[in-house]
């Protein structure tokens, strides 16, 4: 018993590098040997999916990229899934970026989606357009509530915005039927609610980095946002819904990564429990002497 | 193809260099850190210049104009532009910036404020940058005031005014928890009365709600960090393949060997 107690106490002074190594291994192993754990959509993701799925057939949607490589593993899978969903439903997609890196994320997502033959007939400038990045944070959002042309003279390919057929019908953000923000922080989903969705009553939803989800839940609860895709699990759930609705047949990147995510969470919970036991064991022994 | 392989080697090197910090601070980490800061700043500046400053500022001050159509002040104005064109024909092409911009001298105001901001680099007149900052702060405050009042205050208050009984037990319970959480949380942040008695008990409930919120935030933060680790490891697995020249294995071996050698050498010097 005393040996067990001393092991518990030693845990308290365990070299942190051993913990890093264990976490690294429990994340790596499921990536090498997939477990294919089931993924089921929760209410938040389903709300976002349903809101998108039931837009009118001729809807125009605005997709804003507010993330970069640092949050790519979480947000990029949902960007691909949501863009694929928009294009599968035949919506016109206007893409813009409030983060400089968002431009590259948008290009990657577009390329990945268009690789499928199903979308080979889509024409740039008619079915979708990438307006690119503009600095100015919420001022850009505020600006496009008045005029796209005043903020975007050219798109990301340096094409005059007046020469883009899709933009002839989209003069301001009020001309879009839905806003979807892929957000990893500021500026992001909250700014879209504050400066575009609420004032103009445009439905908005968002795919977020996990760390931002707690800030967005009040907007969902109050009906200001139509669901939220929360981090990597949310992206995996969205992929599951795409499969359920017959829009995409295969398990995506997020679903594949969820095995590692789940196992890592279990190990972290175990560490927390062990850490607490060790703490109390140490306290008890200190009281004893 | 070669650029893909080169990109993979760079990505693997930088990833492993950053991870190496988990063992201890070392030159690989320092190099990756400095590269990251430098590249980020340069990347942001380049994107901002070509997507905003050039088309939306210079493009509005000097939109493309046929030299034959120039008249009045524009004759002098475009002569000034020609001097810029002489400096860089790529940034300032002949006869103005192409695009559909209409000329607006209002943007001179933005240009001047932008120049003032850069004057921080000249200590004797650096105080001028405060004017630009004052404009930015004032504009942001004004812009946000309405948004916060409308969406964060009014709509959130509206979202909290909920029926205690809706006919569904689950929903009603949810509403009660939400109302109790909001009210007790507000009690906790009311500092004009001492937190004791009934007031103290309610604010204590508020603390529990806050703790649960922080716990949930921490949980989400952990989830986010694990997702990022998954992203890096997925790339490392991908780049360990033959088509990328076994980049992960080779660089990992080189880095481990280098760190072991330098650690031993440091120990010897210390002894």
B48 contacts on A by Cβ (under 8 Å): 100, 135
Structure tokens at B28: 């690989």
Whether B147 is covered by a domain: the verdict is yes
How close A2 comes to chain B (CA, Å)?
32
Q: Is residue A40 packed enough to be buried (19+ CB in 10 Å), middle (13-18) or exposed (0-12)?
A: exposed
Chain B partners within 8 Å of A73 (Cβ): 227-228, 230-232, 234
B241 at interface of A, judged by CB pairs closer than 8 A: no
Query: Of A71, A95, A86, which is closest to residue A185 (Cα–Cα)?
Result: A71
User: Chain-centre distance of CA B224, in angstroms?
Assistant: 17
Tokens 């930088």, residue?
B14
* Residues in contact with B75: Cβ distance below 8 Å, sequence separation at least 6, in sequence order: none
Whole-number pLDDT of residue A171: 94
Among the partner residues B148, B155, B231, nearest to A73 by beta-carbon distance: B231
Interface of A with B in 212-271 (CB under 8 A): 213-214, 218-219, 221-224, 230-233, 253, 257, 260-261, 264-265, 268
Q: Does B39 touch chain A (CB under 8 A)?
A: no
B141 falls within a domain: yes
Which residues of chain B are modeled with pLDDT < 70? 100
Evaluate whether A235 touches A261 at the Cβ level (below 8 Å): no
Do residues A176 and A61 lie in contact, with contact meaning Cβ atoms separated by under 8 Å?
yes
Of B26, A256, A22, A95, the C-alpha closest to A11 is A22
Q: How far apart are CA A24 and CA B174, in angstroms?
A: 38
The 10 Å Cβ neighbour count of residue B236 is 22
DSSP lists the bridge partners of residue A180 as A63, A205
B14, part of any domain:
no
> What does the pLDDT read at residue A289?
64
Instruction: Work out how many domains chain B is built from and give that number.
Output: 1
A222 burial type by CB count under 10 A (0-12 exposed, 13-18 middle, 19+ buried): middle
- Please give the model's pTM, rounded to 2 decimal places: 0.86
**pLDDT (0 to 100) of residue B100:** 66
Structural domain includes residue B129: yes
Q: Are A183 and A67 in contact (CB under 8 A)?
A: yes
Among chain A residues, the shortest Cα distance to B224 is held by A210
pLDDT along chain A (289 residues), means of 10: 73 86 95 91 95 96 94 94 96 95 94 93 96 88 92 87 92 96 94 94 95 92 94 94 90 89 94 89 77
What are the structure tokens assigned to A73, written together?
Answer: 């593993």
Judge whether B153 lies within some domain. Answer: yes
Residue B132 lies in a domain: yes
Question: Quick check: A209 and A67 in contact, CB under 8 A?
Answer: yes
Can you give the pLDDT at residue A1?
A: 60
- Is 0.85 exceeded by the ipTM? yes
Q: Tell me the C-alpha distance between B117 and B231, whole Å.
A: 38
Does the residue B75 lie in any domain?
no
For B152, the domain range is: 105-161
Contact state of B230 with A232 under an 8 Å Cβ cutoff: yes
Angle formed by the axes of helices A2-11 and A253-288, to 10°? 120
Rounded to whole angstroms, how far apart are CA atoms A223 and A203?
10
Q: Distance (Å) from the C-alpha of residue A232 to the closest C-alpha of chain B?
A: 7
Q: Who among A71, A156, A214 is closest to B220 (CB)?
A: A214
Query: Six-digit token pair at A268?
Result: 């972290």
């Amino acid at each position: 018993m005393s040996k067990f107690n001393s092991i518990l106490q030693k845990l308290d002074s365990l070299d942190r590098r051993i913990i890093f190594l264990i976490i690294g291994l429990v994340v790596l192993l499921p990536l090498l040997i997939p477990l294919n754990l089931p993924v089921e959509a929760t209410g938040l993701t389903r709300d976002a999916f349903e809101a998108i799925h039931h837009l009118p057939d001729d809807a125009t949607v605005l997709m804003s990229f507010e993330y970069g490589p640092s949050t790519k593993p979480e947000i990029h899978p949902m960007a691909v899934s949501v863009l694929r969903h928009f294009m599968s439903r035949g919506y016109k997609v206007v893409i813009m970026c409030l983060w400089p890196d968002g431009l590259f994320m948008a290009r990657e997502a577009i390329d990945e989606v268009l690789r499928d033959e199903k979308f080979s007939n889509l024409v740039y400038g008619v079915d979708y357009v990438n307006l690119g990045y503009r600095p100015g944070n919420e001022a850009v959002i505020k600006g496009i509530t008045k005029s796209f042309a005043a903020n975007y003279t050219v798109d990301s390919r340096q094409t005059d915005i007046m020469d883009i057929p899709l933009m002839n019908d989209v003069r301001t953000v009020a001309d879009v039927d839905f806003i979807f923000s892929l957000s990893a922080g500021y500026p992001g989903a909250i700014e879209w609610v504050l400066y575009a969705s609420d004032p103009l009553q445009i439905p908005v939803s968002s795919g977020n980095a996990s760390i931002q989800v707690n800030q967005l839940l009040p907007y969902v609860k109050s009906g200001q946002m139509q669901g939220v895709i929360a981090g990597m699990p949310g992206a995996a759930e969205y992929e599951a819904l795409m499969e359920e609705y017959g829009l995409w047949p295969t398990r995506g990147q997020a679903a594949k990564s969820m095995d590692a995510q789940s196992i890592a969470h279990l190990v972290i919970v175990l560490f927390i429990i062990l850490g607490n036991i060790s703490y109390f064991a140490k306290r008890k022994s200190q009281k004893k002497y | 193809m070669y650029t893909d392989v080169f990109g993979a080697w760079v990505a693997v090197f930088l990833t492993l260099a950053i991870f190496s910090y988990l063992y201890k601070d070392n030159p690989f980490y320092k190099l990756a850190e400095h590269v990251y800061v430098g590249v980020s700043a340069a990347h942001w500046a380049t994107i901002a210049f070509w997507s905003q400053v050039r088309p939306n500022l210079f493009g509005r001050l000097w939109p493309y104009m046929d030299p034959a159509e120039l008249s009045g002040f524009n004759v002098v104005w475009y002569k000034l532009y020609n001097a810029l064109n002489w400096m860089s024909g790529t940034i300032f092409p002949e006869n103005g910036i192409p695009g559909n911009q209409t000329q607006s001298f209002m943007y001179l105001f933005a240009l001047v404020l932008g120049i003032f901001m850069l004057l921080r680099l000249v200590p004797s007149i650096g105080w001028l940058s405060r004017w630009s900052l004052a404009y930015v702060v004032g504009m942001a405050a004004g812009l946000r005031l309405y948004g916060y009042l409308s969406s964060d205050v009014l709509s959130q208050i509206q979202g909290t005014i909920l029926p205690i009984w809706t006919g569904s037990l689950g929903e009603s319970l949810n509403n009660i928890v939400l109302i109790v959480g909001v009210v007790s949380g507000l009690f906790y942040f009311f500092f004009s009365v001492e937190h004791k008695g009934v007031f103290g008990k309610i604010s204590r409930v508020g603390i529990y709600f806050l703790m649960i919120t922080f716990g949930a935030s921490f949980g989400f933060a952990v989830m986010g960090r694990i997702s990022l680790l998954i992203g890096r490891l997925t790339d490392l697995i991908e780049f360990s393949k033959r088509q990328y020249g076994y980049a992960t294995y080779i660089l990992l071996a080189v880095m481990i060997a280098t760190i072991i050698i330098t650690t031993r050498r440091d120990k010897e010097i210390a002894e």
